[in-house]
Amino acid sequence: MTDVGILALRALAGGSLVALFALVSEVVKPKAFSGLFSAAPSVAIAGLAITVVHEGAAEARQGSVGMVVGAIGLAGCCVIAVGAIPRLKAFWGSLAAMAGWSAIALGLYWSEFIGGR
């Protein structure tokens, strides 16, 4: 299968899972959980499933480790934003939070994929 075909398959699978999880989230209480189930997790699951089938488990493992690294960086970004935005205002606080996300994610990426070899 060509790269365009794989990309189209990922888009179709991700969109289908987003719709499925959105339907599930309509039943779940409280409604605040709707966003948790309808976006990134469903796209990640679809992407990893297609990666396993097309490229193998080793590539899917690398992809999932990358997702975890990004999620840890995002959590760090949120923690930094909570403290920085009230002190530095929106623009500079957001830049500080994004810099923190980059530093955390790149540091973990380096330690997992480059430095550990």
Fill in the DSSP letter of residue 110: I
Q: What is the pLDDT of residues 31-62, one digit of tens each?
A: 666 666 666 677 788 888 888 988 899 989 98
Q: What is the pLDDT of residues 76-99, one digit of tens each?
A: 999 999 999 999 999 999 999 999
The model carries a pTM of 0.69
Q: Residue 34: its pLDDT value, please? A: 64
User: What gap in Å lies between CA 77 and CA 31, rounded to an integer?
Assistant: 25
Confidence band, pLDDT 50/70/90 cuts, at residue 101: very high
**How many Cα atoms sit within 13 Å of 1 on the Cβ side?**
13
Q: Which helix (H) or strand (E) holds 106?
A: helix 57-109
User: What gap in Å lies between CA 45 and CA 67, rounded to an integer?
Assistant: 11
Fill in the DSSP letter of residue 29: S
